[in-house]
Copies of this chain bind each other. A is one copy, B any other.
Amino acid sequence: MPLDTPKDPALAAKADLDPQNFALANCIRALTIDAVNAANSGHPGAPMGMADAATVLFRNHLKFDALNPDWPDRDRFVLSNGHASMLLYSLLHLTGYEDMTLEQVKNFRQWGAITAGHPEYGHAKGIETTTGPLGQGIATAVGMALAERALAGEFGADLVDHHTYVMLGDGCLQEGIGQEAISLAGHLGLGKLIVLYDDNSITIDGPTSISFSEDVPARLAACGWHVQTCDGHDGKALDAAITAAKAETGKPSLIAMKTIIGFGSPNRAGSYSVHGAPLGQDEGALTKEALGWASEPFAIPEDLGAEWRKIGTRGADARAAWEERLAASDHREALTARLTGELPEGYEAAVADARKALFDAPKKAATRKASQMALEALAPALPAMIGGSADLTGSNLTRVKAVDSQYTRDAPGRYIGYGVREFGMAAAMNGINLHGGFIAYGGTFLVFSDYARNAIRLSALMGVGTIYVMTHDSIGLGEDGPTHQPIEHLASLRAIPGLTVLRPADVIETLEAWDIAIRARDVPSLLALSRQDVPQLRLEPGTENLTAKGAYVIRQFGEGRDVTLIATGTEVAIAVTAAEALSAEGLSVAVVSMPSWELFDAQPADYRAEVLGTAPRIAIEAAGKFGWTRYVASEDDVIGMTGFGASAPIDRLYAEFGITSDAIVARAKALTNR
């Protein structure tokens, strides 16, 4: 095809390395300039610098079919430096993804558009995960690569065989979670994970030399990665590097691409000024001129547009062949069920049997132990379950017989030793769930939800059903002391929109909580579980999942109500003890178990009114009081914590911090004037 050649000798030299690739990449650069200018906000620098590499990737390597974007065996592409979103939107538009219209590109960063400032999962096909919070893209991609390998292990390489490609910048490599992901991927030898590093020597504050001077390839090599470096504007060199990365199947690959941020901009290329601000009309025009780009804004020359659309259907034959293989495969039904997230036939029965067993022979147990019992009962019916822990398996009790095979570099398995990497674990679980075929759950201490917090937020923002198993959920963990005792965590997690927090009171509620979490494939669930034993409070056999109502009256003493006690988790038993004492003194008391605020608030108003009642209410929870005024009149009516915990045996802690049935009784009497 005819190409204009840049006049600037340096640019011309780059263009000459692979003229067609350069011309195709200019389509991305031009759309980026125009969309960011139109929005008058955004990040043009990275898309312009990474355009050549992305073009090589989509043109020669990425396995995808733009007209069938949900093809399960497609390669995954994750733009970890999500602020470069115009790179992704340009690629999706150019290759012909139907929902990524020119109108959407023109409406970049506007209300209602699918072209948000950072790529949002669910907005458009081809956005495999939400990115923007740095480091999480690569960590999520590690989960996708883990899932691919595990699924291939189950169903064979003729049905599951795809790569996970990541583009990232310096920020993702500076963030700690980036290293967690790198270390885990290297440890497990995820050979089909290929990372293209946009090594442009620029961060927001200026040259990376202000804050970042390590030898990145050497660091990744130390972590078991295959590493290469190349010119990020040399299409042929990039192609060779990606080919070599694919050939290395035992290690994840890094391609450190030396790039120029804002490539093509005569006055801003290579400077931090092009990172996060529009080029503007003048510099935009100068840049296009320098690149030899003569089209109107948002217009793509006919020949280049046609070439890009051809790239978009490059994978159509492979996709059709894959569908034929699937149709002919013995695995067809099973794999389809797994990919659609359908629950297996035996699942309902497994839940029912587990319930019945607990009603038949009630158990006193820590809810973390109850969680393990639930997993033991349900996991055999759920081949999709893939578990793990951030190096607290014996404390979280996340490992069960059906989910026991260790995921190693030699063979995939159903249990992942994530190491002491809570944040990396959480993001990887998001990636496993986004990939499809699995239900990922993983454990740590509730207090360390702090470390993983932004990945939990992304689960909720994306609507991904990751299951967080958070044990040691209060001062009840005892001697490890205040650094390990969650106080503000329940409140701060309940404050996250779209996350279901479950704090079950006994073995039955824990089983019910697991059932809720397993069914919730587009809502993340977080189970807060105890270290200490609790009695089984639910003793009356029944098939209804009461935990799903969020709250319910678990004990009623007397007729009517003088006072309502609302408790969660381990404190429900204490509330029952207090209620017994109050009842003995002639008061009518309802004890409400409230395992989940979010589920309760979703109930009809009349149900909520009935459960809460009109009598004075007291809340009991061994955690900070913050937020409980949603249900009680004042924080004075909360039996909870007002500061941090302490290091001591559990009974002493509950007594010293006044989380006792006596305290409840005293407050109830005060409220009812007895």
Contacts and interface: CB of A to CB of B under 8 A. Distances in A.
Contacts of A646: 111, 116
Contacts of A498: 643-644
Given A111-B646, A186-B213, A626-B627, A174 B180 contact: yes
Contacts of A481: 109, 116-118, 120, 132
Contacts of A393: 204-205
Identical chains in the assembly: 2
Contacts of A394: 204-205
Interface string A80-121: 001100000000000000000000000001111100111010
Contacts of A482: 116, 120, 461
Interface of A: 39, 41-42, 82-83, 109-113, 116-118, 120, 130-135, 170-171, 174-180, 183-184, 186-187, 203-206, 210-216, 218-219, 221-224, 389, 391-395, 406, 417-421, 423-424, 447-448, 450-451, 453-454, 457-458, 460-461, 478-484, 487-488, 491-492, 494-498, 624, 626-627, 629-630, 635, 641-644, 646-649, 652-653, 656
B204 A184 contact: no
B391 A204 contact: yes
B205 A392 contact: yes
A471 to B, nearest CB: 13
Given A176-B424, A187-B214, A214-B186, A389 B205 contact: yes
Given A41-B478, A461-B483, 12 more contacts: A109-B648, A111-B656, A133-B448, A134-B420, A175-B180, A175-B421, A184-B211, A211-B417, A492-B495, A495-B626, A497-B624, A497-B644
- Specify which of A116, A176, A641 lies most central, judged by the most chain B CB atoms within 10 Å of its CB: A176
> Which 3 pairs, one residue from A and one from B, show the smallest C-beta to C-beta distance?
A176-B176, A211-B419, A492-B492
Contacts of A395: 204
A627 B491 contact: yes
A176 B417 contact: no
B212 A222 contact: no
Contacts of A484: 117-118, 132
Contacts of A421: 174-176, 211
Contact of A647 (B117, B204, B221): B117
Contacts of A630: 626, 629, 635
Contacts of A203: 391, 419-420
Contacts of A177: 176
A478 B170 CA distance: 24
A261 B380 CA distance: 36
A478 to B, nearest CB: 7
A222 B224 contact: no
A448 B224 CA distance: 30
Nearest to A631: B629
B132 A494 contact: no
Given A171-B391, A481-B132, A419 B492 contact: no
Contacts of A389: 205
22 contacts: A39-B479, A83-B480, A110-B647, A110-B649, A112-B648, A118-B483, A120-B481, A130-B483, A131-B483, A133-B450, A174-B391, A175-B180, A204-B391, A214-B224, A221-B222, A451-B453, A461-B483, A461-B644, A487-B497, A491-B626, A495-B626, A495-B627
A386 to B, nearest CB: 15
Contacts of A491: 491-492, 495, 626-627
B495 A488 contact: yes
Contacts of A170: 420
A451 B174 CA distance: 13
B214 A419 contact: no
Given A117-B481, A118-B480, A183 B212 contact: yes
A113 B176 CA distance: 35
A648 B110 contact: yes
- Specify which of A419, A420, A630 lies most central, judged by the most chain B CB atoms within 10 Å of its CB: A420
Contact of A479 (B117, B133, B175, B448): B117
Contact of A178 (B42, B171, B176, B492): B176
Contacts of A641: 497
Contact of A222 (B219, B487, B497, B643): B219
Contacts of A204: 391-395
A111 B652 CA distance: 7
Nearest to A460: B644
A59 to B, nearest CB: 29
A175 B179 CA distance: 8
A211 B480 contact: no
A178 B419 CA distance: 13
